[in-house]
Amino acid sequence: MARNTVSRSLHDLGLSAWFGGTLANAVALNPAAAQADGTHAAGAVANTGWNRWTPVNAAAIALHVAGSVGQLAGNRGRIANQAGVGSMVLGKTALTAAALGATAYSRALGKKVTQQTDVPVRSGTEPAATTPTKVANAQRQLAALQWVIPALTGALVVVSSFAGEQQRASEVQKGLVGRLVRS
């Protein structure tokens, strides 16, 4: 079996940044914006932070996807022949699609918020009483999505750990034997 160090590194580094960055924004940036001087400044702080993170997040996701494609190519024999690997790949692909969808939707909502740079808000995801309705609605949805994306990408970290365990020699042997016995 050939080494897949480059694709595994791209996969892991991209996923780590995607998970960690979105979690940090939910835990730190969005609430910290509430500490800005006034409701107008809170919106500007949150918008600036998210606008700075967006290209980094996009690059992280691109690295992760490129690494994932490399991992699929490098492990195609195991996917086809080792019992349990194919179903893990399908589950991981579904989680990845869900995380990508949630991230894309979050970005679309974020654009609604950042289009109006001087909007009064309480924090990055909490509208003020005077926040325009369009922005307030987007913020309410972002308040939930800020936790959904780290939950999905965190689940991907767990499934990736499981996938790594499936590559242990003892697991490969059991999986290949299991596939032969069921055939």
Q: What pLDDT was estimated at residue 70?
A: 96
Phi and psi torsions of 130, nearest 5°: -100, 10
Q: What is the pLDDT of residues 99-116, one digit of tens each?
A: 999 999 999 999 998 887
Residues 6 or more apart whose Cβ sits within 8 Å of residue 76: none
Asked whether the whole model's pTM tops 0.75, one would answer yes
Task: For residue 60, give its domain range.
Answer: 5-182
| Region 126-132 average pLDDT | 92
| Region 70-97 average pLDDT | 95
| Calpha distance 41→62 (Å, rounded) | 32
Structurally, the chain folds into a number of domains equal to: 1
Q: What pLDDT was estimated at residue 29?
A: 92
Query: Distance of CA 54 to CAs 33, 38, 74, 76, Å?
Result: 17, 25, 30, 32
Query: Distance of CA 148 to CAs 7, 95, 106, Å?
Result: 26, 12, 10
Reply yes or no on whether the pLDDT at 39 is more than 90. Answer: no
| Calpha distance 158→151 (Å, rounded) | 11
